[in-house]
Amino acid sequence: MSLHLPRRHLFGAALAGLLARQAAAQGGEGLAAIARDNGITFGTAVDSTKLGDATYAAQLVAEAQLLVPEWEAKWAALQPRQGTFDFSPLGSIASFAQAHGKQLRGHALVWHEAMPPWLTESLAEGAAKARSLLAAHLDGVLPATRPAIRDWDVVNEAVANSEGNPFTARTPAQGDLRDTPWLRALGPGYIEEAFRAARERDRTLRLTYNDYGLEGDTPWVEEKRQRVLRLLRRLVGAQCPVDALGLQAHLLMDEPFRPEPFAAFLRAVRELGLAVLVTELDVREARQLPAGLPARDAAVAGRVRQVIGTALEQGCRTVLTWGLSDKDSWLAREPDVMRKDGQVHRGLPLDDAGARKAMWQALVTAFGTRRG
Ligand code: 9MR
């Protein structure tokens, strides 16, 4: 079986190519080209249901070189019923990528969210069942998505949030790890098992551990960084085939940032021989907004320049945002993260109308820092 490439978005894609060329002629190069000129790969999350929208598609064509499916490669989408695989939503992203010469990354093989109900129920049946379901999922997905996807988030968000974090609900935990159906079925070794199972099926795939809440300068962020480091050290020490750490970088303006502790963490990760990627960048604005859009956008841009500049200085070469335009962001639709004051977070490079904001420019500046 291979990834079926539906052609239904190709008309939209051709139009998008035209619009993107027009946009580039008017506005200069997009982030994809500017990043590439600096030896960096820039990309974004894509929602397949929006690919028919020519403006959305044109933004992708102009700005992104690497695409990651926002939901289409999660378990609920790929194996909605046990043993029945559905590659059509992922296939429309793959055909769009192919039509425009873009690369894909995969997200996510093992996660405690976006699980179909049958999976949650079956995992409760114990270790043997969990192990065979994981094997069957990888057998169904990895050969089918090869060669389009050469980099997968194998395990997502396995580390528990630490005490005292006022922004994120405390997660039930067993030691450093989040208490999930996978942990309950297989014990703490499930992470190592997942990486080994992925490597057995594809020797050259890049295998990434992906998590959030690792960028800020607070005691709870530092504690989570130490938890992630302990996990990565344990995996590397056991010769477990993990290749990279994905920093989601869902940044919070209400959380302070200082480059030093973040850089020290990235150095420690790099010393383990792992690559570092920024996988889901966006910014949640402060509860108390600065007055006026220019001040708001400047605050977001300043934070992005610092965080991404630090990551690039520490050898990160891949940066993805979680969407391009504020209006398409989960920050504009998920009740947990939406603003309570009726405003929409301006946490992505393009505004609602698709205009490039200060955050777009901040990325350009950050991409340039590593040259100097
Ligand atoms: O943005 C995604 C949203 O549209 C989905 O409904 C949700 C569940 O599949 O996942 C969101 O993406 C998350 C990502 O997969 C993992 N890191 C946090 C992202 C935002 O919640």
User: What is the Cβ-side half-sphere exposure of residue 204, based on CA atoms within 13 angstroms?
Assistant: 5
Q: Ligand 1: distance of its center to the CA of 114 in Å? A: 8
**pLDDT band at residue 328, thresholds of 50, 70 and 90?**
very high
Nearest CA to ligand 1 atom 12: 70
User: Is any atom of ligand 1 closer than 6 Å to the C-beta of 248?
Assistant: yes
Q: What's the whole-number average pLDDT of the chain?
A: 94
Using pLDDT thresholds of 50, 70 and 90, give the confidence band for residue 21: low
Residue burial 169-181, b: 16+ Cβ < 10 Å; e: rest: eebebeebbbebb
Q: Please indicate, yes or no, if residue 342 is contained in any of the structural domains.
A: yes
Sign of torsion over alpha carbons 172, 254, 332, 280: negative
Closest among 234, 246, 41, 91 to 154, alpha carbons compared = 246
Higher pLDDT, 11 or 38: 38
Work out the angle at residue 19's Cα, subtended by the Cα atoms of residues 26 and 13, and round it to the nearest 5 degrees: 155
* pLDDT greater than 90 at residue 8: no
| Domain membership flag for residue 242 | yes
Could you identify the residue written with the tokens 């920024």? 278
Q: Which of 70, 153, 178 to mutate for ligand 1's pocket (most ligand atoms within 8 Å of CB)?
A: 70
**Which amino acid is residue 126, in one-letter code?**
G
Adjacent-strand bridge partners of 138: none
Is it the case that residue 25 has pLDDT exceeding 60? Answer: no
User: Does residue 5 lie within any of the structural domains?
Assistant: no
Residue 11: band (very low, low, confident or very high) from pLDDT cuts 50, 70, 90: low
Which atom of ligand 1 is nearest to 47's Cα?
Answer: 4
Q: What pLDDT shows up at residue 372?
A: 42
> Would the pLDDT of 371 be above 70?
no
Average of per-residue pLDDT across 339-360 = 97
CATH classification at residue 272: 3.20.20.80
Rg (CA), the chain: 20
> Residue 18 pLDDT > 50, yes or no?
yes
Per-residue pLDDT tens for 261-319? 999 999 999 999 999 999 999 999 999 999 999 999 999 999 999 999 999 999 999 99
Closest residue (by CA) to atom 7 of ligand 1?
Answer: 71
Q: How many domains does the chain have?
A: 1
CA of 21 to the centre of ligand 1 (A): 30
Whole-angstrom distance, CA of residue 44 vs CA of residue 240: 28
Percent share of the chain, pLDDT over 70: 92
User: Measured between alpha carbons, how far is 261 from 102 in angstroms, rounded to an integer?
Assistant: 34
Whether residue 47 has pLDDT greater than 80: yes
> Which of the residue ranges 157-166, 174-183, 191-200, 350-359 would you say has the lowest mean pLDDT?
157-166
162-193 pLDDT, tens digit per residue, is 988 888 877 889 999 999 999 999 999 999 99
Ligand 1 centroid–CA 283 distance in Å is: 14
Q: What's the average model confidence in pLDDT over 140-150?
A: 97
CA separation for the pair 246, 155 (Å, rounded)? 10
- Give the domain extent around 93: 12-371
Residue 76 has pLDDT above 50, yes or no: yes
Q: Is the pLDDT of residue 10 over 70?
A: no
Residue 3: inside a domain = no
Residue identified by tokens 């992104």 is: 64
Residue 292 lies inside a defined structural domain of this protein: yes
- The β-bridge partners of 46 are 69
Tens-place pLDDT, residues 305-316: 999 999 999 999
Distance 305 CA to ligand 1 centre (A): 24
Would you state the structure tokens that stand for residue 250, as one six-digit string? Answer: 């869902």
- Is 63 a member of any domain? yes
Q: At what angle do helices 10-27 and 88-100 cross, to 10 degrees?
A: 40
CA angle 327, 329, 335 (to 5 degrees): 105
Could you tell me if 130 and 185 are in contact, meaning their C-beta atoms sit under 8 angstroms apart?
A: yes
Output the six-digit token pair for 262.
Answer: 């973040």
- Banded pLDDT at 121 (limits 50, 70, 90): very high
